[in-house]
Structure 1
Amino acid sequence: MRARKLFIGGKIRAIRTEAELTQAAFAAKLGISTSYLNQIENNQRHVSAAVLLALAENFAVDITSLSDQDSDRILADVVEALADPLVGAAQPSSADVKLVVQNAPSFAKAFLAMHQAMRRAGEQIAELDETLERTGALSEPTPYEEVRDFFHYVDNYIHELDLAGEKLGEQISKSRGSPVRGLAEHIERKHRVRVTIGAERQDGSEKDGKTLRHFDPLSRVLWLNARTPASTQAFQIAHQTGLLEHEATIDRIIEKAAFHSNDAAAICRIGLANYFAGAAILPYGAFLTAARELRHDLTLLADRFGTSIEQVAHRLSTLQRPGHKGVPFFFARVDQAGNITKRHSATKLQFARFGSACPLWNAHRAFETPNRITRQLAETPDGIRYLCLALAVTKASGGWRDPVQTYALALGCEVTHANELVYADDLDLSQASSFEPIGISCRICERRDCHQRAVPPLKRRLHVDANDRGIIPYSLD
């Protein structure tokens, strides 16, 4: 297969700017001409292997971090935003969009932020009524979207917290007893926090299954719900440990992210503590080694580390440590209405930012066979093929009258990595007919013959003939 040319002018320019060097001085260190460097920075020339090696030698740059995956991620988001009817402008060509994203990624991100603001304004106009106007419920930006994008654009990998979590995980693995006991002893020894597990909270509040964790900073008591499995209890102790032990690191990350609201900062704090907890329960090195040894068998990995399959699947999508990467996975959590409540992709597959997911994706079919992993070989409109796994999960929170949480977990990778997964052993990856066509979102999917299309693509003209009716009531040019 022909090697893909690497156009990363923006990253090269950022390295030079950080080193405070002129183009001439920077080019001299790399052993290339100034004009060649200028062409690289403007994405007129691709980066050669010799230049990559010179970067690694002279500027301590990890070559594996210099991929154009960030550009792919931003490009997918910009294409979807441009397809939004709210934009309402003449659509630029794919080449023009790619040029903007490669040469001016900060401008592309600013455009995405503006598009989100425009959508929020449109929602306010469309949905505002007397109650909402009085309460101002829609007046603030959506903090969850802001935090989601933060993790999205850092490749869902936080190096400082990952290393810290791994260090704690290695310590706990050496202690006797279960992870819950080891983490409880650690937080009591280091932070004078006593862990109590019971059906009733320490403050005397009513028993229920809705509260998983409650920390009282005055009494230094961390209460955990006894109805939750041990994997959840261990995760919650690790989460609280992260908040106490790495507050300064978390503060620094949040400050650097420069969120637009206090709510977004607060949500990100929870997300970062969750990240630390995942890194502690599933330490990077040990988990990556086990994943390769067990060929990414989700059940066996969950059994070995005493965690849930969801924790395993999510952790697999974060194994992007520079110089020590695992298989690049996408991960998502999907509810029964098709809404994606968690998403991350270390692959080229980028999830729709708005609306439901493609109905042909096997994540929807997972609800038909709860607690059983379903497989799908799929191909997206860009011609890339994936091995997709999906599992419907049900979480009961209490008694008969208490609500039951149900959602599907989706995990997948490009078929080029399929031989590293046990789930591909009996699948025929050589036949094009084995792969089902899926998309990202109907409005940006240009497939002409999709029988599940909900709305027409915005970049194609429609032909409607009253005398000719197919599966869908129009044809595309």
Structure 2
Amino acid sequence: MPAPKLYAGAKLRDLRTRLGLTQKDFAAKLGVSLPYLNQMENNNRPVSTTVVLGLAQEFGFDVTELGSGESERMVTDMREALADPVFNETPGMADLRLAASNAPALARAFLELHRAYRQTHERLASLDEALGRDGAQLQPSPWEEVRDFFHYCDNYIDAVDRAAERTAQGFGDRDPMAAATERLAHHGITVRVERTAPLRVFDEARGTLTLSALSPPETRRFQLLVQLALVTQAPLLGATLDLARFQTDEARQIALLGLANYFAGAVAMPYAAFLDAARETRHDLELLAARFGASIEQVAHRLSTLQRPGAKGIPFFFVRVDQAGTITKRHSATRLQFARYGGACPLWNVHRAFETPGRFLRQAAETPDGVRYISLARDVSKPGGHFGAPVRRYAFALGCETRHAAQIVYADGLDLQSDRAFEPIGISCRICERTACHQRSVPPLERRLSVTTDRRDVLPYRIE
């Protein structure tokens, strides 16, 4: 399968602007003609091999950033939004890629507009009351706003990640739990472990942090590190939130907790050490969990954040779903993007993980664009800690493109050479291009249907 052409005009222009070079000087350093550079910057031509080599040799540019995911994510998001019946026609993929690459701010504004439209439609019952209040305005859900913030940051926050790594280095060889407890003691905070239901309770007036003895050790440590972030990294987290410019206080508070969680994971699994261990173990989640004292889910999520410029790990996707199939957490550094609304493709192995508790499921999968992936799925059960307490159950999936198979222990023994070994999966039914899927729940919104009473196959209609 030929490699997809790389269009990265906006990133070329951005790099040239940061270097303070004219198009003529930039073209000369890259060894291409001025007209050719102009065509690449306007996405009329793909980036050539000569330019890729020139960027690396002349400027030390991490060329993997040329293909990093924001444009592809926006193309997927716009395509899903445009599948809404409110639009009579859907632009072609070439037009969507052009908009995402050349006018990302406009594309993002379109997505915000469509999201506002959806929320208006869903809240008609209370719209009169909302419009009757002074200063009322349509705003995105705080949860969605924060989700998109991490989504478009590639789930990697450089300043927070490096601060966490320095904190871990300051701990030295000491147990992170003891070191973090000592660090909080310097701020007048006493850590207690009691048989309480809440995972973490901080009483600022009394200077006490109470952790639940009913939770697993890795959860207690994680919550301790979250509190350490909130206490010792307030200026850094606040500056990061200021740059994000969230529209509501609720979104800012949700993002603050998200950044504290990010810091906690990065302290428990410091970037460089974790990346080296991931490569050494060929990304074995159980070995990594044992080495870093983390849960398997924490390890899988951390693997999806290893996108530091100049020291990137394998581009993974990570997703978590509940038992109803609703996506509760998602990120992708790969070309595979998740539906913003609704559930994931029912053919994906993440849904089958609930049927095989405590086991890893492997899947060789192919998306409609022809890209092939290795997907690893597992269920997670979190007991409440006492009889009668509700048990939280969900499943997560971690995966990457098959070109990284040699570096993934879970690819061992999979037949990745046979076309028949790959299961066809999509993003969501309403924008999936497959015409003969036996698990399709709704027709694709971009295609015409043919319905006849004289014949019935698996689906009651034929997709033209």
Give the TM interval when normalised to the shorter protein.
over 0.9
Name the CA distance, whole Å, in 1 between partners of 2:363 and 2:45: 38
Match of 2:12 in 1: 12
AA at the equivalent of 2:115: Q
The reply to whether residue 379 of structure 1 matches residue 366 of structure 2 is yes
TM-score by length of 1: 0.91
Work out whether residues 378 and 436 of structure 1, in 8 Å CA contact, stay in contact via their aligned partners in 2: yes
Work out whether residues 139 and 247 of structure 2, in 8 Å CA contact, stay in contact via their aligned partners in 1: no
Match of 1:184 in 2: 181
AA at the equivalent of 1:336: Q
The reply to whether residue 325 of structure 1 matches residue 312 of structure 2 is yes
Match of 1:203 in 2: none
Distance 1:121 1:408, change over 3 A: same
Name the CA distance, whole Å, in 2 between partners of 1:426 and 1:59: 41
Name the CA distance, whole Å, in 1 between partners of 2:138 and 2:71: 31
Work out whether residues 198 and 223 of structure 1, in 8 Å CA contact, stay in contact via their aligned partners in 2: yes
Tell me, which stretches of 5 or more residues in structure 2 are unaligned? Answer: none
Name the CA distance, whole Å, in 2 between partners of 1:116 and 1:245: 36
Name the CA distance, whole Å, in 1 between partners of 2:228 and 2:275: 23
Deviation at 1:218, TM superposition (A): 2.7
Work out whether residues 124 and 138 of structure 1, in 8 Å CA contact, stay in contact via their aligned partners in 2: no
The match for 2:202 among 215, 230, 236 is 215
AA at the equivalent of 1:261: T
The reply to whether residue 250 of structure 1 matches residue 232 of structure 2 is no
AA at the equivalent of 2:388: R
Name the CA distance, whole Å, in 1 between partners of 2:345 and 2:73: 18
Deviation at 1:332, TM superposition (A): 0.8
Name the CA distance, whole Å, in 1 between partners of 2:49 and 2:299: 35
The match for 1:265 among 247, 252, 268 is 252
Work out whether residues 194 and 212 of structure 2, in 8 Å CA contact, stay in contact via their aligned partners in 1: yes
Match of 2:440 in 1: 453
AA at the equivalent of 1:388: S
Match of 1:92 in 2: 91
AA at the equivalent of 1:331: F
The reply to whether residue 303 of structure 1 matches residue 290 of structure 2 is yes
Name the CA distance, whole Å, in 2 between partners of 1:474 and 1:2: 34
Work out whether residues 9 and 40 of structure 2, in 8 Å CA contact, stay in contact via their aligned partners in 1: yes
Work out whether residues 443 and 455 of structure 1, in 8 Å CA contact, stay in contact via their aligned partners in 2: yes
The reply to whether residue 346 of structure 1 matches residue 345 of structure 2 is no
Match of 2:162 in 1: 163
Name the CA distance, whole Å, in 2 between partners of 1:385 and 1:461: 28
AA at the equivalent of 1:194: T
Work out whether residues 7 and 68 of structure 1, in 8 Å CA contact, stay in contact via their aligned partners in 2: no
AA at the equivalent of 1:72: E
Q: Deviations over 1:341-370 (max 9, x none)?
A: 000011111011101111111111111111
Deviation at 1:131, TM superposition (A): 9.7
Match of 2:190 in 1: 194
Q: Deviations over 1:81-101 (max 9, x none)?
A: 11122x322111222222212
Match of 1:73 in 2: 73
Give 3-state SS (helix, strand or coil) of 1:66's partner.
Answer: helix
Name the CA distance, whole Å, in 1 between partners of 2:111 and 2:458: 35
Distance 1:20 1:337, change over 3 A: same
Q: Deviations over 1:38-83 (max 9, x none)?
A: 2222012333444445545666643332324221111111111111
Q: Deviations over 1:185-233 (max 9, x none)?
A: 22223x332211112xxxxxxx4x2x21122223322111111111111
Give 3-state SS (helix, strand or coil) of 2:206's partner.
Answer: coil
TM-score by length of 2: 0.93
Match of 2:42 in 1: 42
The reply to whether residue 104 of structure 1 matches residue 103 of structure 2 is yes
Share of identical aligned residues, percent? 53
Match of 1:418 in 2: 405
Name the CA distance, whole Å, in 1 between partners of 2:56 and 2:364: 37
Work out whether residues 91 and 459 of structure 1, in 8 Å CA contact, stay in contact via their aligned partners in 2: yes
Distance 1:13 1:400, change over 3 A: same
Match of 2:144 in 1: 145
AA at the equivalent of 1:262: D
The match for 1:430 among 394, 408, 417 is 417
Work out whether residues 6 and 68 of structure 1, in 8 Å CA contact, stay in contact via their aligned partners in 2: no
Match of 1:202 in 2: none
Name the CA distance, whole Å, in 2 between partners of 1:135 and 1:368: 49
Name the CA distance, whole Å, in 2 between partners of 1:68 and 1:186: 37
Name the CA distance, whole Å, in 1 between partners of 2:128 and 2:35: 62
The match for 1:236 among 199, 218, 223 is 223
Work out whether residues 334 and 341 of structure 1, in 8 Å CA contact, stay in contact via their aligned partners in 2: yes
Deviation at 1:252, TM superposition (A): 1.7
Deviation at 1:434, TM superposition (A): 0.9
Name the CA distance, whole Å, in 2 between partners of 1:91 and 1:130: 32
